[in-house]
Amino acid sequence: MRENVQEFRRFQGMARGFRWAIMPLFFLIAWEVAAVVINNQFILPRLESVAMVLATPFSPILGSGSLVENAIDSLQRVIVGFTVGALLAVPIGVAMGRWRIVEELVDPLVQIFRPIPPLAWVPLALAWFKIGLASMVFIIAIGSFFPVLLNTLDGVRSVKRTWIEAAMTLGATERQILSRVVLPGALPTIWTGMRVGFGIAWMCVVAAEMMPGTNSGLGYLILYAYNFSQVQVIIAGMIVIGVIGLGIDTALRRFEERWFRWRELER
Amino acid sequence: MKKLKVDHVSKSFQNENGEDVKALSDVTLEVEEGEFICILGPSGCGKTTLLRIIAGLEKPTGGDVLVDGEPVDGPTPRLGMIFQDYSLYPWRRVLDNIAFGLEIAGVEKATRAATARKYLELVGLKDFADAFPYELSGGMRQRVAVARALAIEPAVVLMDEPFGALDAQTRNAMQRELLDIWEKTKKTVLFVTHSVDEAVFLADRIVVLTTRPGRIREVVDVNEPRPRDRTCDGCAALRRYVLGLIDEGRPDR
């Protein structure tokens, strides 16, 4: 009797562990049912045909490179663009947070440019940099710049005055205060900004790859597949985009939980 | 030469109406090497402002502060400061917190670790070298702050109500430990407090400030032998006397 109870408890525990899978499973079943009912692969392909595309990530699709090749192209672009954006945003954010005069001078520009969606820069990017890597990097950098900047500013402002004054009484120079107190103190918040910024950069790269004249990348692949009515490729591409985005965000969050635990534990 | 000299220091602020408000008025104080001085006064008397001016964190409107005869014109490692709220760096382990001052002074890694260990032992926390500040209690954190301030061997140690946030028992224990450390290191200490009991237990001399503007009401010598018994008659009499001084200084009496 008692063994039965234990068994039941264990089963309950396992069931709870799989609870997250219920809705995705339900979604997949609904998809398959809808696909069968609609019965038109140019509107909603069946699960199997999408799975088949995903199962062969290295084989070329419609003569435009494989899923993996296109994903690598997109990742390269996003990394370059994000790096440019973050490398500009962090120093500007630190300077704004540390020196009032810098904030007063720079803030109006930030306020004006921030509401402009990164994609509104596409025509200008094309006019300035023509088609190619430079214009994509430009758009991705703009997309990641603002979240990193605003979080850096926030992080620097949250650095306790006592931390800075303690460093001053211990003989620290302004430079040492910046590198050993302000930066490490603001780093958890900067990191959060980078996570948000990378997410936006990833969205931007897909959109940027839909610009005319592009000939690789996941964004290009799904648009190209549309021209050939290959809906199963479009959906497979979207799944890859989602999974990569989730994977990177998870990795960045793990790092955050591991290294910046003090932010939550400090009263 | 006096270890520390506060020479006719005054300080005024501007309030939101643009009027000058005097926080400190003509404070003069001379401190001998190795003395333990308590600066005592009700809240709002400018005692923290006075300590911050001595530390070089604020500029006086008039007057000078001299350490070993040299004027203080900004924060300096000659003056170690211990703050009321926790000033430890939460991303650094205890030992690295204590070594912070040595690190910025460019002391080599092995040397500064050894020095930091020495001070960690002095404050009785040698088993906590690798802990993070958030793993420590309030009293332990303040001990680390004391070790960090002492590690750079300042000429004078300034303490701004360092035990104000602790419960009564911890506070008493910390006072005893602080006296132990003071006797071992023979440092000159300036200790700001609003607790008469704390001042009478700790100080060689108590500087009693009046409120608005803060000026020195009287400097009271404490001649009770150490180690002191908080409950002894001499201490009680002294407490009564000092409390009287503070009450007199109140404008609303």
pLDDT of A246 strictly over 90 = yes
Residue in B100, B132, B148 closest to A262 by CB: B132
pLDDT tens digits for range B80-95 = 999 998 799 999 999 9
Asked whether residue A176 is assigned to any structural domain, the reply reads yes
pLDDT of A204 strictly over 80 = yes
pLDDT tens digits for range B26-61 = 999 999 999 999 999 888 788 999 999 999 999 999
Min Cα–Cα distance to chain B from A97, Å: 19
pLDDT tens digits for range B102-143 = 999 999 999 999 999 999 999 999 999 999 999 999 999 999
Query: Is there a contact between A121 and A142 (Cβ–Cβ < 8 Å)?
Result: yes
Residue A208 CA, chain-centre distance (Å), reads: 15
pLDDT value, residue A8: 80
**B166 and B73 co-located in one domain:** yes
Q: Cβ contacts (< 8 Å) between A181 and chain B: which residues?
A: 89
pLDDT value, residue B191: 97
Domain span including residue A136: 51-265
Residue in B89, B104, B134 closest to A171 by CB: B104
Omega into A118 within 30° of 0, i.e. cis? no
Q: How many residues does chain A have?
A: 267
**B64 and B161 co-located in one domain:** yes
Asked whether residue A178 is assigned to any structural domain, the reply reads yes
Phi, psi (deg, nearest 5) at residue A61:
-110, 120
Q: Cβ contacts (< 8 Å) between B134 and chain A: which residues?
A: 262, 265-267
Asked whether residue A91 is assigned to any structural domain, the reply reads yes
Asked whether residue B192 is assigned to any structural domain, the reply reads yes
Task: Name the band, by pLDDT with cuts 50, 70 and 90, for residue B253.
Answer: very low
Residue in B75, B86, B89 closest to A169 by CB: B75
Domain of residue B24, CATH code: 3.40.50.300
Residue in A163, A167, A169 closest to B80 by CB: A169
Strands B205-209 and B62-67: unpaired
Whose tokens are 């303690």? That residue is A166
**B105 and B37 co-located in one domain:** no
Write out the residues of chain B at the interface with chain A, using a CB-CB cutoff of 8 A: 55-57, 74-77, 79-81, 83, 85-87, 89-91, 100-101, 103-105, 132-134, 148-149, 152
Q: How many domains does chain A have?
A: 1
Q: How far apart are CA A124 and CA A255, in angstroms?
A: 36
Q: How many domains does chain B have?
A: 2
Query: Is there a contact between B222 and B230 (Cβ–Cβ < 8 Å)?
Result: no
Whose tokens are 């002294």? That residue is B238
Task: Name the band, by pLDDT with cuts 50, 70 and 90, for residue A252.
Answer: very high
Domain span including residue B148: 88-153
**B166 and B238 co-located in one domain:** yes
Asked whether residue A30 is assigned to any structural domain, the reply reads no
Asked whether residue B253 is assigned to any structural domain, the reply reads no
Query: Is there a contact between B97 and B149 (Cβ–Cβ < 8 Å)?
Result: no
- Looking at chain A, the whole-number percentage of residues with pLDDT higher than 90 is 76
Asked whether residue B83 is assigned to any structural domain, the reply reads no
Q: How far apart are CA B129 and CA B95, in angstroms?
A: 5
- ipTM, interface predicted TM-score of the complex: 0.92
**B184 and B215 co-located in one domain:** yes
pLDDT value, residue A267: 52
Q: Which of B126, B153, B180 is at the close of a domain?
A: B153
> Nearest CA to B161 among B199, B134, B188, B205?
B199
Interface contact A169-B86, CB threshold 8 A: no
Q: How far apart are CA A8 and CA B29, in angstroms?
A: 78
